[in-house]
Structure 1
Amino acid sequence: MRGLHDNSVDFSGLYLKEKLLKPARDIRSILRWGYPKFATIRFVADHFQLSVEERHILTRVIIPPDRVISRINKKVACKGIKDRNLLLDGYNVLLSVDSLLKKEPMWFCDDGYIRDTRYYFSKAKQAEDIEEALDTILKFISEAGPKSAVFLFDAQISKSGELTGFIRRKLKEYGISGEAKTSKTADFELKTGSGNPENNAIVATSDGIVIDSVLQVLDIPACLMEKMGIEPVRLY
């Protein structure tokens, strides 16, 4: 993590801000009239002749206004998970933190969550070499003091079983009560894992579909960036 505490670190993606700022403003203006998100982004992106990657950034960053408030209201403070059960969207959190540590662009999205775009086209191929990201997450969890921490991974992705075994050993090293497991219905379990208020669970993810379905959400990349003094890229 050397160098990440330096406020002068230049996360790539800043050069895109000037190019995408006007399209982002136009898209938001159109969405306020109730037009569908993806058709609007395609229309504006075609006008500005944006690349596939640039269109994806806009898709990740811009959120329809009718979803923004509800998602923001679900966010839990970084120090708000003490003695709570934490359910982590495994690949989502690990790969996002890996992008952060590799100084990839980290985008502040309209719903208040931090998202990256690095793994969009190759997620299933990039679930390797994440030990530093895992150690960073586990250090954060051990300091935050949840009652338990459960990592959940898609069983369909190659080597998920090996990864969960590795994480179980790391949890013991850090003295964290918890588990790592795979599931063929990972998204469903994430959505229902915190649905019962008696479970007192918080879900760590930036997946908008999951966020819309759960009660409370922790944005671990945002917590780490705040601690490191790193600002995300903002399209406004």
Structure 2
Amino acid sequence: MPERHRGPHPQDAKCFGEVQLARLKTAAGELAWLLSRGYSMGASNELVGDHHQLTSRQRLAIARVVCAEEQVEERQAKQVPLSLLKEKTVIIDGFNLLITIETALGGGAIFNCLDGCCRDLSAVYGSYKIVAETRQAITLIGRTLEQSSPQKVVWLFDRPVSNSGRVAEVVRELGEEHNWPFEAETTDSTDALLSRSSDVVISCDSAILEQAKSWCNLACETITRQIPEAWTIDLTGKQHRGPE
């Protein structure tokens, strides 16, 4: 079994500890205010980050947490609840969903965002490693999905990313083991396929949510239902739950 974990970043206990939350919530609110008035993310994040003397990781967090008010409304209007996936085909942004759930299982920071999504601070830059949490994460996603009985579940993984073929194979293996309607593919155009799909998309990638016709918030549903002990951080004014 893999021994590597998708655990907390070494800086996160300090960056997102209780003493930092009030300042980060203020910064997130200011960033959202600027974005809602047409200012760019880059310039606004730099301005707010400099004013509050935020670290690069704290700046990344507030950028993932907030968006313009108009974007929040548009994304929520296209959101399909898990309960309405019965007999539907859903298309999963494989690495996006899987890494979020792996991070939650490994004790990493998960951020509740203005648009309702749950996001981590990881990024795939051409490299992905299967970790100790991978199989469990896929299993928990499957258990959450099976409650709504979708007709078909298609996982898409970026072919250029290392180990994409292997993780797609693991998805197919677990689907067969649990009798889930899983298909898994590697593709050179994952984002474009998700953005153009007429089926329900499962992703928390902001660029994809802007283009998708409909989407389901499976990451948050899985964490809420299956990983209640996850370290979730809310910079939007809701209740914060720290690690045990």
What secondary structure, in the 3-state scheme, does the structure 2 residue paired with 1:75 have?
coil
- Show CA shifts across 1:176-220 (max 9, x none): 2231010011111111222xxxxxx21111001111111111111
Distance in 2 separating the partners of 1:192 and 1:122: 23
Distance in 1 separating the partners of 2:208 and 2:124: 20
What secondary structure, in the 3-state scheme, does the structure 1 residue paired with 2:147 have?
helix
Structure 1 residue identity aligned to 2:233: V
Could you tell me which residue of structure 1 aligns to residue 105 of structure 2?
Answer: 101
Aligned residue pair count: 219
Q: Within 5 A, what are the aligned runs for 1:155-234?
A: 155-194=159-198, 201-228=199-226, 229=228, 232-234=232-234
Contact map agreement 2:175 2:181 (CA 8 A) in 1: yes
Distance in 1 separating the partners of 2:97 and 2:124: 17
Could you tell me which residue of structure 2 aligns to residue 43 of structure 1?
Answer: 47
Could you tell me which residue of structure 2 aligns to residue 120 of structure 1?
Answer: 123
Q: Within 5 A, what are the aligned runs for 1:26-105?
A: 26-105=30-109
Gaps of 5+ in 1: 1-10, 195-200
State the identity %.
23
Contact map agreement 2:197 2:213 (CA 8 A) in 1: no
TM-score, normalized by length of structure 2? 0.82
Contact map agreement 1:168 1:179 (CA 8 A) in 2: yes
Contact map agreement 1:142 1:174 (CA 8 A) in 2: no
What secondary structure, in the 3-state scheme, does the structure 1 residue paired with 2:185 have?
strand
Distance in 1 separating the partners of 2:182 and 2:25: 42
Structure 1 residue identity aligned to 2:93: D
What secondary structure, in the 3-state scheme, does the structure 2 residue paired with 1:181 have?
strand
- Show CA shifts across 1:10-58 (max 9, x none): x964534223112112222333332222211111101111111001001
When residues 33 and 169 of structure 1 are mapped into structure 2, their CA distance, relative to the original with a 3 A threshold, is: closer
Distance in 2 separating the partners of 1:33 and 1:193: 30
Structure 2 residue identity aligned to 1:51: T
Moved over 6 A (4+): none
TM-score, normalized by length of structure 1? 0.85
Q: CA deviation at 1:128?
A: 3.2
Q: CA deviation at 1:65?
A: 2.0
Contact map agreement 2:72 2:115 (CA 8 A) in 1: yes
Distance in 2 separating the partners of 1:95 and 1:166: 14
- Aligned-residue RMSD, C-alpha: 2.1
Distance in 2 separating the partners of 1:179 and 1:43: 44
Distance in 2 separating the partners of 1:177 and 1:225: 21
Structure 1 stretch displaced more, 178-187 or 137-146: 137-146
Contact map agreement 1:37 1:64 (CA 8 A) in 2: no
Distance in 2 separating the partners of 1:27 and 1:193: 31
What secondary structure, in the 3-state scheme, does the structure 2 residue paired with 1:217 have?
coil
